[in-house]
């Protein structure tokens, strides 16, 4: 499918959902586990729609589908934490991407600590953990964009902690040397 020139007066064609999904497989994304707390205890969900919006003030956005358990929790929560996973944490990404028990059982057997600011789970071994207070919720199609004011950041020392990325339907490692 080709899109006509913007000046043609003809509105551009809208790609089918599956065509768009196939196209987006070419865009590498970071892999993170978004954590929060609900009435039943801690909760996590694998996400890759994370965006640094602003440095002044520091603002981080996450997009969450309306049909997820996480969406319902974030609709009532005041905070979330984004745990950027390391290259060796594909098992955690898989764990938080599928159905699992709610509350404390969801984190059974995992090493984590409560964030010093929000109390949300910070996963051991994550390359970065960013604690956010939810400022705005913006509904867009079948997702809500949660804009978080950054309250605390914990990251691996510079040069360590290779992040996990997802591209072409598989987890990948980021090359540590600059591209030529």
pLDDT digits (tens, 9 = 90+) for 89-115: 999 999 999 988 888 889 999 999 999
> Span 20-25, mean pLDDT?
84
Residue tagged 């028990």 (tokens): 101
CATH of 29-169, one of 2.30.110.10, 1.10.3210.10, 3.40.50.300, 3.40.50.10470: 2.30.110.10
- Decide if 29 contacts 93 (C-beta within 8 A): no
pTM: 0.86
> Whole-angstrom Cα distance, residue 114 to residue 169?
31
Residue tagged 């691996």 (tokens): 156
């Amino acid at each position: 499918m080709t899109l006509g020139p913007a000046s043609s007066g003809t509105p551009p064609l809208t790609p089918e959902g599956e065509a768009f999904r196939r196209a987006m497989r070419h865009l590498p994304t970071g892999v993170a586990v978004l954590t929060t707390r609900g009435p039943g205890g801690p909760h996590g969900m694998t996400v890759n729609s994370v965006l640094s919006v602003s440095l002044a003030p520091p603002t981080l956005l996450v997009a969450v589908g309306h049909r997820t358990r996480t969406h319902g929790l974030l609709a009532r929560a005041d905070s979330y934490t984004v745990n950027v996973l390391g290259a060796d944490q594909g098992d955690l990404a898989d764990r938080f991407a599928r159905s699992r028990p709610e509350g404390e059982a969801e984190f059974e057997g995992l090493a984590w600590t409560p964030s010093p600011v929000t109390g949300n789970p910070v996963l051991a071994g994550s390359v970065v953990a960013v604690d956010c207070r939810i400022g705005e919720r913006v509904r867009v199609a079948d997702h809500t964009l949660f804009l978080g004011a950054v309250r605390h950041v914990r990251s691996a020392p510079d040069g360590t902690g290779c992040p996990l990325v997802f591209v072409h339907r598989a987890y990948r490692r980021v090359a540590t040397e600059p591209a030529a």
